[in-house]
Amino acid sequence: MASIMRPSLLRQSQTASQRVYSTFARQPSPLTQHLRPAFAPVPSTRIAAFHATQRQAILPALPQKITGTLNEPTVVPDPTPAHGSYHWSFERLVSAGLIPLTVAPFAAGSLNPVMDATLCALLVVHSHIGFEACIIDYFPKRRVPNLYKASMWALRLGTITLGVALYSFETNDIGVTELIAKLWNA
């Protein structure tokens, strides 16, 4: 007799245990309980997530890859001054140099072509460094190596094109500072 009772007992205990983890306590109707095969998973039962807050993601997670053993998730790059302090000082020098070059033409009211060309060159370098930092941050090399490489080369190509364009504008036209001043008072 006990062996005949077992399947229905098991079925009841299974649904009961699932109901414990369910976020909503909805009792399935007796009819569906009878029609459902004995041990099929209950489709209406939702297993409660570990986190109580709603999941919000702007973008799906990038693919993850593990190199080496389990406890070495990242590879620490070799320290080199070209990627560290020199690079850092160069960036600060360019940023600090942009301040007088931006202020001087408007403050003094005089427009010097050499100064304008220097401003353009520094703007190109500053923009390139800025976009490079964005690529490094948002397309990490160890996660999306191909996208990283492609966007880096696209940026290099874009920066060279911008350099050519600004050279052309500086030599054939009136220059960036003059153009902005004239557009402002147009």
Instruction: Specify binding-site residues for heme b.
Output: 126
- How far is it, in rounded angstroms, from Cα 129 to Cα 117? 19
Q: DSSP class of residue 72?
A: -
Does the protein bind other proteins through residue 47 (CB under 8 A)? no
Phi and psi based region of residue 34 (left: phi greater than 0; alpha: psi -120 to 50; beta: remaining): alpha
Does the protein bind other proteins through residue 154 (CB under 8 A)? no
CA distances from 32 to 5, 7, 22, 37 (A): 20, 17, 18, 10
Q: What is the token pair recorded at 171?
A: 């030599």
- How far is it, in rounded angstroms, from Cα 18 to Cα 24? 11
Task: Give me the residue label for tokens 């569906």.
Answer: 32
Q: What is the token pair recorded at 1?
A: 């007799």
Which 80-139 positions form the footprint of other proteins (CB under 8 A)?
Answer: 92, 95-96, 98-99, 102, 123, 126-127, 130-131, 134
Does the protein bind other proteins through residue 3 (CB under 8 A)? yes
Give 46 or 143: the residue with its C-beta nearer to other proteins: 143
Please select the residue that binds other proteins; options are 61, 76, 107, 114, rule is CB under 8 A.
61
CA angle 122, 124, 128 (to 5 degrees): 115
Dihedral sign (CA 175, 177, 182, 184) = positive
Give 95 or 118: the residue with its C-beta nearer to other proteins: 95
Smallest gap from Cβ 147 to other proteins, in A, equals 17
Give 5 or 25: the residue with its C-beta nearer to other proteins: 5
Give 98 or 147: the residue with its C-beta nearer to other proteins: 98
Does the protein bind other proteins through residue 15 (CB under 8 A)? no
Q: What is the token pair recorded at 27?
A: 């009792």
Interface with other proteins by CB under 8 A: which residues?
A: 3-4, 6-7, 10, 38-39, 41, 53, 56-58, 61, 63-66, 70, 92, 95-96, 98-99, 102, 123, 126-127, 130-131, 134, 158, 161-162, 164-166, 168-169, 173-174, 178-179, 182-184, 186
